[in-house]
Structure 1
Amino acid sequence: MSDLRLRRSVLYMPGSNQRALDKAKTLPADCLILDLEDAVSMEEKDLAREQVCAAVKSGEYGDRELIIRVNAPQTPWGEKDLRAAIEARPDAILMPKVSSPAVLESIADHLEALDAPDGIAVWAMIETPAAILNIQDIARASRDRRTRLTCFVLGTNDLAKDTWAQLVPGRVPMLPWMMFTLAAARASGLAILDGVWNDIGDVEGCRAECRQARDLGFDGKTLIHPNQLEPANTSFAPTEEEVRRARLVLEAFDRPENAKRAAIKVENRMYERQHVGMAKRAVTWSEAIKAKGQ
C-alpha cells in the first residue's frame, strides 16, 4: 500500500456542469476528479476551468480528495489549465496520456516554472500502448521528487481504442496490461486506480468489475456515475470475515510463545511472518472506513 488514503471510489465530474459539481459535495466518494479534459467540449473549456477552480477553492468538499484533470500542456488549453489548477491548490493534478518519463519531466519543469506549491501531487493517466511498454520507467520516475508522481490511473477505454482490444466481461484482453502496470506501481510505491465501467445502467456489472479489480490488487476504481459509488465502496473494503481473521493472525503472532516462530497455525491455516503485514493492512483499512462513517 502506497499510503493510508482511502481511494475506493474516485468519481469523475465534468467541470462544465455546475449542478454536478454542487451535487458532488454530498456524495460518498473518497475522491473527486474534476475534469477539464475528455468530459468537456472545446466550447466549454474556459467555463469548466473557471467552475472547477472555484469549486476547489471553496473548501466545501469535506475530506474528499480533490484532483483536477487538466488538458495536456501541448493543447490550446493546457497551459491555462495548469496555471489555474496550481492557483486553486487541489490535492493532485491528473495528467492525461503520460506515455514516457519524459512527459513527467516536462510537467515537472512546468510546475517549477509556475511555482506550484509542494503539496500538489501529480497523478498519471496510463492510457496508451506506449505507456504500457514504458510503464516501469514511468513508475521509476516517481523516485525523482520533482515529478511529484503518486498515483497511476488506468484509461481502459483509450487502451481499447488504440489496441482494438475488446472490453468484454472479465477483461481477459486487458489483464496482462493491468497486472504489469500494477506491478510497476507497487514496485515504486505508487497507488493505482482501475479504469471506468461504462454501462451506468448495470450496477451489478460494475460491482463485479470492482471486485475483480480489488482481487487483482488495485486501490480503487474510477467511476462515471453516482450509482457506481456503493459498489466501489463496498467492494474495495475488507469483509468482516477478513478483518476477523486478520485480528486473529495479529494476536497469534503477538503471543510470547510465537515471538521467534516463522510460521504458525491459526484456525487450521498456516501463516508466515509475511502475512502480518497483510493482516495489518486489512485492519487499518477497516478502521479507516469506520472512521469515515461508511
Structure 2
Amino acid sequence: MPIRPLRSALYIPAANARALDKARTLPCDAIIFDLEDAVSPARKDEARARLIQALRDMEYGHRLRLVRVNDETDMAALTDVPLDALVLPKVRSADLPDSPHPLWVMMETAQAILNAPAIAAHPKVEGLIMGTNDLERELHLRPRPDRLGLTHALAACVLAARATGKPILDGVHAAFRDIDALRSEAAQGLDLGFDGKTVIHPAQLDVVNEVFSPSPAEIDLARRQIAAHEAAEQDGSAIAVVEGRIVEALHVDMARRTLALAEAIGKL
C-alpha cells in the first residue's frame, strides 16, 4: 500500500471563513476542521453550515480532510458532504456510534487509553489522534517539557495503532510561539513512533514537517543499507555491515519505508 505522509495535521476553527480558505494553501498533510473545542456553543450551527459549504465549494488538494464533530447531529448533517473522515472526541471505548464516514478517534480520556487496542481494531476506525491537553487534565498531570506523565499513554496508543496497521498523530504543543520546545516535543513524538503531529497554528507547520520527514542523512543511510544487503545476498553471505552495524532483512524493510516516505513527500 502506498505511504501517505501525515507529518502535520492543522486544526482549523470551522466558524472562521478566512481560515477555511487559507488552509487550501498551507503545507499541512491533513486538516482537522473543528466543530468542537474551537467553536463557542453559540456558534455551533453557524460553524456547521459554513463548513459544509466550504467542503462542497473548495478544493483542498492532497490534504486529508478530517472533521471533528460534537455529536450525532453533526454526523447526520455531514452525511453527504465530501470529506475523508469524521473525528470523534472524548472516546472512551470501542462502542462507537454509526457513521456515514470513516472515523478517526481522539485518545484523550483515561478509559480510551485502557481500551486502546479495541478502539484501534474497530473496523470503522482509520486512525488515532492523541488529545494530550485533555488527557493531562484527566490524569491530574503538571505540564512538563518531557511529558513524563503521558509517556505510558502515548506509547500504549502507538502500540495499538501499529498492532492494527492504523496511523496515529501526536497531540498539540500549545505554546505555539516556542518553536524550540515544539521541535523537541515533535522529535520525542517521532522517537515514540508517531506518524506526525497535530498543530494549532500555521507557524508550527514547517518545524513539524521537517521533524517527521526523513533527513538527507537518513535517506543516504537507507540507500546504503539496501545496497549492502543486496550485495551480501549476491555474494552468498547472510551478513551485511554498514557503519559497524549488522544489516538484516528487517533493517532493509525499514530502509525501504524511509525511501518510500521520502518519495511520497517529494511528490506533494
Instruction: Give the TM-score category using the shorter length.
Output: over 0.9
* 2:240 equivalent in structure 1: 264
* Count of matched residue positions in the alignment of Structure 1 and Structure 2: 268
- Code of the residue aligned with 1:245 in structure 2: it is L
SS in 2 for 1:197: coil
Q: Distance in 2 between matches of 1:125 and 1:51?
A: 23
Measured after TM superposition, the shift of residue 90 of structure 1 is 0.6
Q: Secondary structure at the match of 1:89?
A: coil
Counterpart in the other structure of 1:244: 220
Q: CA deviation at 1:60?
A: 1.8
Match of 1:75 in 2: none
Q: CA deviation at 1:80?
A: 2.5
Identity of aligned residues (%): 42
Take 1:80 and 1:98, find their aligned partners in 2: how far apart are those partners? 17
Following superposition, the deviation at residue 211 of structure 1 comes to 1.0
Residue 125 in structure 1 maps to residue 118 in structure 2 = no
In the alignment, does 2:262 pair up with 1:286? yes
Output the TM-score relative to the length of structure 2. Answer: 0.95
1:151-171 Cα offsets, whole Å, 9 max, x none, are 010000000111111221011
- Asked if 1:134 corresponds to 2:115, the answer is yes
Runs in 1 of length 4+ with deviation above 6 angstroms? Answer: none
- Change over 3 Å in CA distance of 1:244–1:81 after alignment to 2: same
- Taking a change above 3 Å as real, the CA distance of residues 273 and 59 of structure 1, as seen in their structure-2 partners, is same
Tell me the equivalent position of 1:10: 9
Q: Aligned partners of 2:130 and 2:237: how far apart in 1?
A: 41
Gaps of 5+ in 2: none
Runs of at least 5 residues in structure 1 that lack an aligned partner in the other structure: 72-77
Counterpart contact for 2:31–2:63, Cα < 8 Å:
yes
How well do the aligned residues superpose, as a CA RMSD in angstroms?
1.6
Structure 1 stretch 218-227 or stretch 255-264: which is displaced more? 255-264
What pairs with 1:81-92 in structure 2 (closer than 5 Å)? 81-92=74-85
SS at match of 1:159: helix
Q: Partners of 1:260 and 1:7 in 2: how far apart? A: 39
Q: TM-score scaled by structure 1? A: 0.87
Judged with a 3 Å threshold, the aligned counterparts in structure 2 of structure 1 residues 256 and 175 are, in CA distance, closer, same or farther, namely closer
Does the Cα contact within 8 Å between 1:252 and 1:258 map onto a contact in 2?
no
Q: Which residue of 2 aligns with 1:74?
A: none
- Which amino acid in 1 is paired with 2:241? K
Please say if residues 96 and 125 of structure 1, whose CA atoms lie closer than 8 Å, have aligned partners that are also in contact: yes
Larger deviation, residues 267-276 vs 24-33: 267-276
Q: Distance in 1 between matches of 2:2 and 2:167?
A: 8
Q: Could you report, residue by residue, the CA deviation over 1:16-46 in whole angstroms, capped at 9, with x for unpaired residues?
A: 1111111111111110000000110010001
* 1:212 alignment counterpart: 188
Equivalent residue for 1:187?
163
Distance in 2 between residues matched to 1:189 and 1:262, nearest whole Å: 29
Over 3 Å counting, the alpha-carbon distance change for 1:261 and 1:150 in structure 2 is farther
